[in-house]
Structure 1
């Protein structure tokens, strides 16, 4: 089935397969150009184990919206990861395009979130920032 024929019909997915993101986490495959032919959005589920930490990164050309379903995590963000945000179940988080960030599950249980992005290819504009890694303990 071609991408254009996929995008002309409603579809239902059940997350099953995972893929390794450049950021250092595994994501449950969800709605993306590759799975549904989506033109402008990507949505998937992220599960972060206790102590799990992403690599410092940014998304060059897409915005991110996150809904925290379970667990607690923190996120360092900003040009030098100088800002700190704690998240709890029920929180909504917005990350503008181009903003460096690094999430960590500091809790004792798995953190689960639904993530939506304005790029149908979730990994296309991920840029790793190894020079910022040591700024976060």
Structure 2
């Protein structure tokens, strides 16, 4: 039987999306087989690179602040997500979140990719579509 493992977020890593994430539950840290979970704080004005998670779903719980996310094949949809909101992003859905400020925005993020970064596909051709 595998061991239960407790982590306390401390170390960070640079994600392909352009943010620094607090290291969390992933195959690399716990041996997780089908899920990852980590914490993210986006500074005011912070913006991700346009991307999607190939074949993996994402669930987000906003704990602080407000973000704006553009999503869709041409990033044509816009959604505000505030502290207390839950957000679901289907697999293979292009998206680009940013923090309009004035304060930081923090969230708990879970994904069905146990490696976290393995399924990230950058979409530079969509970058110009978001102001």
Look up the match of 1:4: none
Whole-Å Cα distance in 1 between the matches of residues 121 and 113 of structure 2?
14
Aligned residues: 131
1:62-96: CA deviation from partner (whole Å, max 9, x where unpaired) = 00000000011100000000000001100000000
TM-score (norm 1): 0.94
Whole-Å Cα distance in 1 between the matches of residues 27 and 40 of structure 2?
18
Whole-Å Cα distance in 2 between the matches of residues 122 and 87 of structure 1?
22
1:61 shift after superposition: 1.4
Matched ranges for 1:19-98 at <5 A: 19-98=13-92
Helix, strand or coil: the match of 1:38? coil
Structure 1: runs of 5 or more not aligned? 1-6
TM-score (norm 2): 0.99
Structure 2: runs of 5 or more not aligned? none
Instruction: Report which of the two structures shows the higher radius of gyration computed on alpha carbons.
Output: 1
